[in-house]
């Protein structure tokens, strides 16, 4: 009888214990310039509710029939409005997570169903109130000598790592390194002003990337990526422009679909459904935007050819949502196949990243030096240049400067030559008017 009593007690205890339907198996946090994103990775879908409290400021997240199996203490709260995070059990089966807040935020939460890119998730975005009220849109001074604005978009970011290659090489990290190097090269050029669309490891929607380029009045939008394909032997770098019709190849169409799926990871609808584009895409063929994208892309591709093997020897086209800016020439550079073990190894090295950035830089610079938009410093320099000189064997910069009675420093600045640059036989120099 004693044994039967003990079994009944144990069974009664088990029957009264909580029955959690969902586990939180990971919690991740990213800081963006205007908001903080927290992502809860779930084993299944779960209902949730959000409560905002003041004095002191707290954001309370309740998730039904869920238990926490992740460590909240590992979250990096630096540079966020969150001072601490704690959790507990509510009403027996529900998970309660409390965020202590030190600044005004506007919270937004939403659930994401599992898809081919990621599992079930719950996303909490805390938008900075101060940043929103203090936001002032910067305008470009359209003087007769304005700089060219080059918007550099490092693909993916935050919870969207992009493609992952051997040894856990992540696309988002590779393309961020290349983008920063490209920005540094353009920053050193007179007449160019680079601007990074993504400055850190956080997610931006495809439409948001285009919008940022437009807000900054960019003259060019260049998106940097690293390919992945379902066969490891696929290799080579590529340059893409927008297609208003079909893709130029099966591979181009496949890659466009992969890149467009980034918004599914970040939790927004596909960006190629924007209302603003519905009546604009038909007009692209009647403007010079797409033509410029193709020709400029050809310059970049020609320079990349000296650094990497090419997947295709011409600029390809497909319906990349991130390129759908009707008024900004836009190209997408796939710097190699991160799914290819050999290319993934190269892409992970600083030396190769620098070579790729230099090739893209040369292509952009060559195009704009030959076709500078009116009102820019480059256009003014082209108008002022008295003549063009082709460097011959035995020439020195100081000798050329003496020959044309031009100060050496002015000759260097005019041609964006620094002290580390070497001049080559056959290289063209623009000689400023004395």
- Tens of pLDDT, residue by residue over 55-111, are 899 999 999 999 999 999 999 999 999 999 999 999 889 999 999 999 999 999 999
Q: What is the DSSP letter of 146?
A: B
What pLDDT, in 10s, does the model give residues 272-313? 445 444 444 445 444 568 889 999 999 999 999 988 889 888
Q: Which residues contact 397 (CB under 8 A, 6 or more apart)?
A: 408, 411, 412, 417, 423
Q: With bands split at pLDDT 50, 70 and 90, how would you rate the model's confidence at 140?
A: very low
Q: Specify the pLDDT at position 370.
A: 85
Q: Check residues 396 and 152 and name the one with the higher pLDDT.
A: 152
pTM here is 0.76
Q: Specify the pLDDT at position 227.
A: 83
Residue 135 has pLDDT above 50, yes or no: no
Q: Check residues 326 and 98 and name the one with the higher pLDDT.
A: 98
Of these ranges, 6-20, 221-235, 312-326, 343-357, the one predicted with the greatest mean pLDDT is 343-357
Q: Check residues 370 and 23 and name the one with the higher pLDDT.
A: 23
Q: Specify the pLDDT at position 284.
A: 47
Q: Is residue 391 within 8 Å of 427, Cβ to Cβ?
A: yes
Q: What is the average per-residue pLDDT within 314-339?
A: 90
Q: What is the average per-residue pLDDT within 128-136?
A: 60
Architecture of domain 17-132: Sandwich (2.60)
Q: Rounded to 5 degrees, what are φ and ψ at 182?
A: -60, -40
Q: What is the CATH number of domain 385-431?
A: 3.10.350.10
Q: What is the average per-residue pLDDT within 180-191?
A: 96
Q: With bands split at pLDDT 50, 70 and 90, how would you rate the model's confidence at 8?
A: very low
% of the chain with per-residue pLDDT over 90: 52
Q: Specify the pLDDT at position 300.
A: 96
Q: Specify the pLDDT at position 393.
A: 85
Angle at 162 between CA 201 and CA 160, to 5 degrees: 50
Of 152, 45, 116, nearest to 260 by C-alpha is: 116
- Count CA atoms within 13 Å of residue 388 on its CB side: 8
Q: What is the average per-residue pLDDT within 241-270?
A: 72
Q: Check residues 135 and 61 and name the one with the higher pLDDT.
A: 61
What three-state secondary structure class fits 327? coil
Domain 148-370 has CATH 3.40.50.11540: no
Q: Specify the pLDDT at position 116.
A: 74
- Count CA atoms within 13 Å of residue 323 on its CB side: 29
Residue 426 has pLDDT above 90, yes or no: no
Domain positions in the chain are 17-132, 148-370, 385-431
When the pLDDT of each residue in the chain is averaged and rounded to a whole number, the result is 84
Whether residue 402 has a cis bond before it, omega within 30° of 0: no
Q: How far apart are CA 28 and CA 146, in angstroms?
A: 42
């Amino acid at each position: 009888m004693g044994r039967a009593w003990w079994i009944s007690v144990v069974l009664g205890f088990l029957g009264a214990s909580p029955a959690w339907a969902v586990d939180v198996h990971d919690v991740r946090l990213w800081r963006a310039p205007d908001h903080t994103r927290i992502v809860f990775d779930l084993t299944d879908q779960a209902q949730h509710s959000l409560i905002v409290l003041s004095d002191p400021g707290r954001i309370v997240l309740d998730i039904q029939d869920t238990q926490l199996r992740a460590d909240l203490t590992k979250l990096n709260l630096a540079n966020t409005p969150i001072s601490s995070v704690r959790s507990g059990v509510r009403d027996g089966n529900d998970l309660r997570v409390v965020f202590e807040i030190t600044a005004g935020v506007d919270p937004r939460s939403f659930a994401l169903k599992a898809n081919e890119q990621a599992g079930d998730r719950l996303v909490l975005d805390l938008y900075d109130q101060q940043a929103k009220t203090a936001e002032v849109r910067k305008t470009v001074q359209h003087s007769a000598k304005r700089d060219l604005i080059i918007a550099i978009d490092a693909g993916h970011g935050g919870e969207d790592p992009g493609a992952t290659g051997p040894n856990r090489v992540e696309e988002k990290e590779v393309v961020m390194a290349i983008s920063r190097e490209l920005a540094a090269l353009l920053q050193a050029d007179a007449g160019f002003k680079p601007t990074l669309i993504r400055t850190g490891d956080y997610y931006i929607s495809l439409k948001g990337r285009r919008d940022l380029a437009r807000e900054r009045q960019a003259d060019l939008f260049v998106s940097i990526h690293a390919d992945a394909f379902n066969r490891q032997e696929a290799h080579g770098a590529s340059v893409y422009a927008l297609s208003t019709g079909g893709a130029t190849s099966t591979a181009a169409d496949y890659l466009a679909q992969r890149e467009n799926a980034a918004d599914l990871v970040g939790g927004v609808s596909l960006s190629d459904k924007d209302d603003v584009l519905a009546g604009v895409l038909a007009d692209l063929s009647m403007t010079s935007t797409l033509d410029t994208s193709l020709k400029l892309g050809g310059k970049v591709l020609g320079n990349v050819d000296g650094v990497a093997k090419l997947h295709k020897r011409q600029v390809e086209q497909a319906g990349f949502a991130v390129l759908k800016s009707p008024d900004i020439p836009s190209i997408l550079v796939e710097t190699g196949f991160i799914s290819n073990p050999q290319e993934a190894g190269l892409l992970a090295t600083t030396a190769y990243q620098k070579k790729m950035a230099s090739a893209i830089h040369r292509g952009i610079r060559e195009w704009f030096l030959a076709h500078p938009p009116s009102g820019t410093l480059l256009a003014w320099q082209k108008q002022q240049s008295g003549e063009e000189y082709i460097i011959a064997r035995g020439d020195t910069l100081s000798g050329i400067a003496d020959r044309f009675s031009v100060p050496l420093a002015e000759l260097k600045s005019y041609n964006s030559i620094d002290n580390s640059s070497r001049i080559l036989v056959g290289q063209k120099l623009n000689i400023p008017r004395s």
